[in-house]
Structure 1
Amino acid sequence: MRIVFATDLSDANKAAIESRTCLECLDNIGVREVHLLTVVPDNVSSGLPGMEMATDAREALKTQRAVFEEAGFEVETHVARGTPHRRINGLAERLDADMIVVGSRGESPLRNRLIGGTVRNVARTAVRPLLVERIEKTDTGPAVKKEHLFQNALYATDFSENAERAYEFFPALTGATERATLLHVRGSEQRGDDGSDQEARERLEEMADELRDRMDIDVETNVRSGAAVEEIVAEEERVDATTTLIGARGTSRLRRLLLGSTAESIVAQGNNNVLLVPPESATPR
């Protein structure tokens, strides 16, 4: 498996890369080739202010590259200039990467460009599955919020074609996932419809049986009612999920608007790692 790991060279991304547990999770799902990418916006000079680890991006990448190489990965580094999300998606497409990995927070001079808006823009335009790894501030500095990336997966589905594509990505997590929860959230307009509730539970159970057979993991199902984002976040907490797996919407020029408020809100506001799987017909922007 080949991944593009986008880094802003901040202490936060350094913490994510140096987490041995996270590296083991990537290894367990078959990642062998890592392409480390940092993007320098056009309006920032090559001598990035505030970088303590090196005087330029290429030197800084050497430090992060060494961590991956010591863990046994094949590594290439890339420094690009331009719009971050375009460069990230462009490299992933060119390399035919299996996944893009980005951190959700950072403390570098590029924070507003690379960590805030870029995560959303990568999510809205991604042509490859996107893993958003949560990084939080602690008393001792930045740290990954949940180290065991794929150990306990929550899959949220509305039974759409895009949700089905995310479900089909599950087997790629074999070796790292020990437990999964399959969730369907019924909107307020469906409350009181016992037939709809029963149908959803039966569909989830069929999917759960398939996962048990294919991955040999523990699987449970649940149907909740209410606002999708609130119920997904509540389920994350209930089952102590380490990653939320969800499908993105939209394949047209309006895709930036059609990602779907649920997926975008989970990426932008959630507290969990998120694995976002784009539509198969998604095209690069």
Structure 2
Amino acid sequence: MRAICATDLSAASEAAIENDTCLQCLGRIGVDGIHLVTVVPANVHSGMPGVNFEERRRQGLDQYRTVIEDAGFDVETHVVRGTPYRRINGIAETVHADLSVISSRGQSPLENRIIGSTARNLARTTVVPLLVNRVERATDDPEVVRERLFQRVLFATDFSENADRAFDAFSYLHHATEEATLVHVRSPKDEDVDTAVSPQEQLTEQARTLENWGIDTQLEVRHGDPADEILAVEAEVTPSAILVGSKGRSRIRRLLLGSVSEEIVAQATGNVFLVPPSRTV
């Protein structure tokens, strides 16, 4: 498997990329090649003679390369200019990446509603599964919040095709997963909908699959706002990551806030593994 690791060479990026345990977790799920990507925004200029942003970033990536190669991965580096989330997605498609990784310090409730962060834009538009690796806020020397990326997974499902695709990620995540909490939230609009199979029965069927891989599971059926309830479960069970599917990348949706997956990416305390719909050929 190939992974894109996007970095702006900040302390938060360094904490995530150079963390031995995080790298080991990527190796356990089958990642053997890493493409390090840093994007110089198109509107950033040196402002003075003799300053070469591309070269400075290349030197920074070379430092990361050594650490990652010592951990046993093949590494390629990319220094590009443009809009970060667009260039990251473009490289992911070009190299046929299996997932992308980006660090995020998280934001305050007010800032969560401001469009603009690379992590938030990638959550809307990613072309491959995206791991948002949460890093401590408000410190000059941050650490990753939860090192063992997939040891305890909270899987949130509405039983849609997108959610089923996210569940399929356990086919490789199970190599690093020991515990899973499966959550379905019935919103008020679902209360009058009759289904042939109850949510509890559907979760139980998925749990059997995970238990066959040796993963201890627990089930939660909740009622209320999906994003609020999923985040409440996260606070109770403190998973390493929330696994959730997204609904797509239409031009209109890129302009909107408020989907369950976007709210989780913005507000979750720990890591989020976001699985997008299949790419059309």
TM-score (norm 1): 0.87
The AA in structure 1 aligned to 2:214 is D
Tell me how large the CA RMSD over aligned residues is. Answer: 2.6
- Is the 8 Å Cα contact of residues 249 and 260 (structure 1) preserved in structure 2? no
Shift of 1:166: 0.4
- 1:177-205 deviation line (CA, Å, top 9, x unaligned): 111111001113455x7976980000000
1:247 and 2:268 correspond: no
Which 4+ residue blocks in structure 1 deviate beyond 2 angstroms? Answer: 45-48, 137-140, 188-191, 193-198, 250-255, 257-260
- Is the 8 Å Cα contact of residues 124 and 249 (structure 2) preserved in structure 1? no
- Is the 8 Å Cα contact of residues 12 and 104 (structure 2) preserved in structure 1? no
Separation in 2, partners of 1:37, 1:119: 14
- 1:199-238 deviation line (CA, Å, top 9, x unaligned): 000000001101212x221111110111111111111122
Separation in 1, partners of 2:150, 2:36: 21
Match of 1:231 among 229, 232, 242: 229
The AA in structure 1 aligned to 2:229 is E
Helix, strand or coil at the partner of 2:105: coil
Separation in 2, partners of 1:43, 1:139: 28
- Is the 8 Å Cα contact of residues 105 and 137 (structure 2) preserved in structure 1? no
Separation in 2, partners of 1:140, 1:8: 15
- Equivalent positions of 1:107-146 (< 5 A) are 117-137=117-137, 141-146=141-146
The AA in structure 2 aligned to 1:83 is T
Shift of 1:23: 1.0
Which sits farther off after the overlay, 118-127 or 71-80? Answer: 118-127
Distance change (3 Å), C-alpha of 1:164 and 1:133: same
Distance change (3 Å), C-alpha of 1:77 and 1:273: same
Helix, strand or coil at the partner of 2:243: strand
1:200 and 2:199 correspond: yes
- Equivalent positions of 1:145-156 (< 5 A) are 145-156=145-156
The AA in structure 2 aligned to 1:14 is E
- 1:125-152 deviation line (CA, Å, top 9, x unaligned): 1110000000113667211011110000
Shift of 1:44: 1.2
Separation in 1, partners of 2:20, 2:91: 26
Separation in 2, partners of 1:243, 1:46: 38
Distance change (3 Å), C-alpha of 1:195 and 1:86: closer
Separation in 1, partners of 2:88, 2:245: 19
- How much identity, in percent, do the aligned residues show? 53
Separation in 1, partners of 2:244, 2:146: 18
Aligned length: 269
1:212 and 2:225 correspond: no
- Is the 8 Å Cα contact of residues 190 and 196 (structure 1) preserved in structure 2? no
The AA in structure 2 aligned to 1:249 is K
Partner of 1:110: none
- Equivalent positions of 1:1-285 (< 5 A) are 1-45=1-45, 56-105=56-105, 117-137=117-137, 141-190=141-190, 199-213=198-212, 215-257=213-255, 261-281=259-279
Unaligned runs of 5+ in 2: 107-114
